[in-house]
Amino acid sequence: MFKPHVTVACVVHAAGKFLVVEETVNGKATWNQPAGHLEADETLLEAASRELYEETGIVAAPQSFVRMHQWIAPDRTPFLRFLFAIDLDAPCETTPHDDDIDRCLWVSADEILNATHLRSPLVAESIRCWQEGTRYPLSVIGAFNWPLHQA
């Protein structure tokens, strides 16, 4: 049975800048969007908000759905990556709560698109998708009969 890793990511934009998280992978500083794996007890939206908070300290919820990418990493690991958008009025202070994150940076789209130290090619592709402007309502990925949140 095919069992891809399910991940979420947020393109966070404010005043022409995009938020990237910097982490050291194999001794190299790499850039990524705030992103991570879906946990067993959460919805995709909850996972996106949790990862954003853990990696940046920002408390915000996704505002729209951008795209789902089916991707196979160079090590042959399969992924389904759900990409969300968050637009803020202005860049804000960040405080990573995840020990794997070295720092957060607000950078231009060109800096991301031309960077040679991206965690994966999906980082740049996410910016290109955001720039296309297509946004879907969050209801397109709603949880159905989600038992973990029933009263």
pLDDT single digits (tens) 76-124: 999 999 999 999 999 999 999 999 999 999 999 999 999 999 999 999 9
Contacts of 31 (CB under 8 A, 6+ apart): 20, 21, 22, 105, 107, 112, 115, 117, 118, 119, 123
Domains within the chain, CATH numbers bracketed: 5-149 (3.90.79.10)
- Give exposure, 48-78, as e/b (b: 16+ Cβ within 10 Å): bbbbbbbbbbbebebebbbbebebeeeeeee
Per-residue pLDDT at 151: 46
Per-residue pLDDT at 147: 72
* pTM of the predicted structure, to 2 decimals: 0.94
Q: Enter the DSSP assignment of 71.
A: E
Mean pLDDT, residues 40-63 taken together:
96
